[in-house]
Amino acid sequence: MFLNELWQVMTRYLKMTVLAAAVQCVSAVAGCVQMYAGPDLDSLIRRADSLRMAYMFDESAGLYGKALGICEDSLMRIGIEDARMLAENGLGMTDFVLQPEVVAKHRFSLDEFFLYYPLEDKSWRNYPNVLDSTEVHQFCRAVYFPDDFRFLYFSAHDQEGAMNIYRTDRKDSTWSVPYLLNEYLVSSGDEIFPMVSPDGKHLYFASSGLYGMGGFDLYVSTWSEDQQEWGPPANMGMPYSSPYNDFLFMNTPDGKYSIFASDRDCAGDSVDVYVLEQETMPVRKSMRDVSALRNLMSLDPPDDMDRFDSSNVMTQMTPEGKEIRRYTEKVSEVRALRDSIYCSNVRMANMRALLAESHDDGEKARLTSGISQIESMVPAFHDSLERASAILQKIEMDFLYRGIVLDPGKLMVEADREVEGTSSNYVFTRKSPGKPLDIVLEKPEVKFDYTFMILPEGRFAEDNTLPDGIVYQIQIFSLSSKASVKSLKGLSPVFEEQTAGGRYIYRVGVFRKYNDVLSNLNKVKKAGFRTAFITAFEDGEPIAVSKARVLEKKAVEVSLYQINIVPYGDSLPDLTVPAVRQLCGNVDIARSEKDGKVIYIVGTLDDKALVEKTLVAVRATGVADAYSVVVGTVKKEQ
């Protein structure tokens, strides 16, 4: 109880959550800063990062804007724009904040925090395994796979190294080839820890590439019976998502608790697991006060835990178990106090750095007050650490006098099966990891890659049929007999055609645009085919290259689209307009009314793929009623 109260006192006074910012805020922007930025730009970006991680989103966005004003490197500007978008997203989310009741909170190692979730024993299988051969991910280190599963959602690395969500289905003795779910659930970042709700209607996961505040945010996708697929994911918002890394969300089958993990208040290779009362009718409210927001986001359990029903999680301990529990709790207390002292020192250092750079009197006053509060707490931490260490030493000596030799490692592992109970009325029970995953996946059908390449060994095309439309190729030679693989000199794919006279003509590549084939002609010549030249085809029949170029530029009729967005009220969520602007640039957005409903009209746009992508983004910001309409056509060159 002492440790729990001490931790609550500390988090009540330590308003600036800067430690995690120092540990976690290693972004692409920071990488660019080290390489390109001067002192002023470096300072602006680092300060903006720190403010964003401290939930001061408005001030952070302003500093990112100032950084853009003095940054001349185009690549770095992209990174700063992305960071500013995160700050603006965070500011928008403060208008839709939930306030769930906190039941418990406890810190675990990243290597095994998932073993303390109330799931089946031996249901977590470590990576690497047959589903993903990669050694380790920063956070996702195991896959949830009970023995009785008939289908599985899991995260795995793709060929580019990003983590995506896949599904595989059990067949008789094998599992189907894993497949991606749909475009809604694929982003430029990683998607990890997919968990399906007990009723199968919701898919919870974490993503670092969808619209959020930075790091991994939590999202939920709803199953559509009509379309038979998962719908656009929605950010779960505060306090579940934060500027830090939040992941592995689940609701317990009994409908009592929601559980997730986050590193928002952690240092090192650890995370906090939060247990919240499951919200049946959540109400979102605006919370712009930074102090109140930080207090909420810390998710500290209240002092009075008697109101929570914990009959399903409490267990009894034997007298021997109580002695072991007293020892392991004291070990945990000593460790936590040391960690608190470390956190306090790092926080003060970061706050002093912010204070030195600040030019705002109000902020200086807040920072000075925060530093003073932490300084007043540090001596108490040291005093508590000395007393706890003395008690721990006394316990160890008592065991020694009784002839009991302690193995702290084994004792902590055994005791960690129930690491909370008396202070929070909730027991985190450690489950055993499952045996290595032993399933047989069907082998995917390997499709021939018709992309132009120069390989260590050349390849003939599997099918010499050319696609319809305008196609360019590079003719490399003509022979009286069949060519060998060695004679291709690494080119792929090489098409073979036998003429009526019995000769063999060989061409490489399938190019849709003249500029593409032209840019690769010199590569073919340098590979050893100095007399290579460009040829053209229309629907498989040879035509002059000049004619092909004319046909390629022939104007075609293209549809024009508008996007209609129908909000729940009269205005759009704060995230919607920035999402549209990020994808479509300065496209027109007009407010209108139809049949008593407010409608926001975006466009016009002539790119159907962009329209679909924008609709996905709009729905992800919380607007379910968004659709496109064709409003006309225009002539456009191919």
Q: Which two tokens stand for residue 346?
A: 């790092």
Residue 37 has pLDDT above 80, yes or no: no
pLDDT > 90 in the chain, percent: 36
Strand, coil or helix: 143: strand
pLDDT tens-digit readout, 541-554: 999 999 999 888 77
Q: 377: alpha, beta or left, given left = phi > 0 and alpha = psi -120 to 50?
A: alpha
| Closest to 425 measured CA to CA, from 10, 116, 4 | 4
Residue 122 is predicted with a pLDDT of 92
Residue 637 is predicted with a pLDDT of 53
CA dihedral 389, 393, 398, 403 (to 10 degrees): 140
- Residue 22 and residue 592: Cα distance in Å, rounded? 46
129 and 272 part of one domain? yes
130 and 230 part of one domain? yes
164 and 292 part of one domain? yes
Residue 408 is predicted with a pLDDT of 59
Whether 436 is covered by a domain: the verdict is no
pLDDT tens-digit readout, 120-162: 999 999 989 899 887 778 888 899 999 888 899 999 988 778 8
Strand, coil or helix: 435: coil
- Residue 263 and residue 242: Cα distance in Å, rounded? 10
Residue 620 is predicted with a pLDDT of 78
| Closest to 565 measured CA to CA, from 628, 503, 472 | 628
406 and 462 part of one domain? no
Residue 575 is predicted with a pLDDT of 77
Give the confidence band of 638 by pLDDT, cuts at 50, 70, 90. Answer: low
Q: Which residue has the higher pLDDT, 220 or 622?
A: 220
Mean pLDDT over each residue of the chain, to the nearest integer: 81
Q: Which residue has the higher pLDDT, 573 or 316?
A: 573
DSSP conformational letter for 484:
P
539 and 559 part of one domain? no
Whether 166 is covered by a domain: the verdict is yes
274 and 341 part of one domain? no
Residue 16 has pLDDT above 60, yes or no: no
Q: Dihedrals φ, ψ of 597, to 5°? A: -110, 145
Do residues 221 and 268 lie in contact, with contact meaning Cβ atoms separated by under 8 Å?
A: no
Residue 316 has pLDDT above 50, yes or no: no
Q: Where is 62: in which H helix or E strand?
A: helix 57-70
Residue 271 is predicted with a pLDDT of 92
Whether 401 is covered by a domain: the verdict is yes
570 and 624 part of one domain? yes
pLDDT tens-digit readout, 322-349: 566 677 777 777 777 887 788 788 888 8
Residue 402 is predicted with a pLDDT of 61
Residue 419 has pLDDT above 60, yes or no: no
Beta partners for residue 628, in sequence order: 563
Q: Which residue has the higher pLDDT, 384 or 485?
A: 485
Residue 310 is predicted with a pLDDT of 43
pTM of the model: 0.57
Residue 39 is predicted with a pLDDT of 54
114 and 70 part of one domain? no
Residue 418 has pLDDT above 70, yes or no: no
pLDDT tens-digit readout, 52-80: 999 999 999 999 999 999 988 888 888 89
Residue type (1 letter), 245: N
Give the confidence band of 249 by pLDDT, cuts at 50, 70, 90. Answer: very high
Q: Which residue has the higher pLDDT, 303 or 452?
A: 452
559 and 544 part of one domain? no
Do residues 382 and 341 lie in contact, with contact meaning Cβ atoms separated by under 8 Å?
A: yes
- The average pLDDT across 155-181 equals 89
Any idea which of 186-200, 235-249, 392-406 has the lowest mean pLDDT?
392-406
Do residues 476 and 507 lie in contact, with contact meaning Cβ atoms separated by under 8 Å?
A: yes
Residue 412 is predicted with a pLDDT of 53
- Sequence-distant (6+) residues with CB within 8 A of 380 are none
| Closest to 476 measured CA to CA, from 510, 415, 511, 525 | 525
253 and 326 part of one domain? no
Residue type (1 letter), 511: F
pLDDT tens-digit readout, 224-244: 888 888 988 999 999 999 999
Residue 426 has pLDDT above 50, yes or no: yes
- The average pLDDT across 607-614 equals 83
Beta partners for residue 635, in sequence order: 557
Whether 426 is covered by a domain: the verdict is no
- Sequence-distant (6+) residues with CB within 8 A of 209 are 162, 187, 188, 189, 190, 191
Whether 422 is covered by a domain: the verdict is no
- The average pLDDT across 420-435 equals 71
Residue 296 has pLDDT above 70, yes or no: yes
Give the confidence band of 622 by pLDDT, cuts at 50, 70, 90. Answer: confident
Of the residues 534, 552, 570, the one at which a domain ends: 552
- Cβ atoms < 10 Å from Cβ of 248: 25
Taking the CA atoms of 463, 469, 474 and 477 in sequence, report the sign of the dihedral they define: positive
Residue 589 is predicted with a pLDDT of 82
- The average pLDDT across 557-572 equals 80
- Which range marks the domain in which residue 616 is found? 555-637
165 and 248 part of one domain? yes
Whether 312 is covered by a domain: the verdict is no
Give the confidence band of 555 by pLDDT, cuts at 50, 70, 90. Answer: low
Whether 38 is covered by a domain: the verdict is yes
403 and 539 part of one domain? no
Contacts made by residues 510-516, CB under 8 angstroms, sequence distance 24+? 510/450, 510/452, 510/466, 510/467, 510/471, 510/473, 511/452, 511/471, 511/472, 511/473, 512/469, 512/470, 512/471, 512/472, 513/472, 513/552, 514/472, 514/545, 514/548, 514/549, 514/552, 516/472
Whether 310 is covered by a domain: the verdict is no
Where does 181-335 show beta strands of DSSP type E? 191-196, 202-207, 217-224, 229-230, 234-235, 246-251, 257-262, 270-277
CATH number of the structural domain spanning residue 458? 3.30.70.1070
Q: Dihedrals φ, ψ of 475, to 5°? A: -80, 130
| Closest to 262 measured CA to CA, from 53, 99, 16 | 53
- Residue 35 and residue 119: Cα distance in Å, rounded? 46
Burial level of 197, CB count in 10 A (0-12/13-18/19+)?
middle
Domain count, the chain: 4
- Residue 207 and residue 262: Cα distance in Å, rounded? 13
Give the confidence band of 409 by pLDDT, cuts at 50, 70, 90. Answer: low
Of the residues 270, 298, 326, the one at which a domain ends: 298
Residue 416 has pLDDT above 80, yes or no: no
Of the residues 552, 575, 594, the one at which a domain ends: 552
Question: β-pairing, 124-126 with 142-144?
Answer: antiparallel
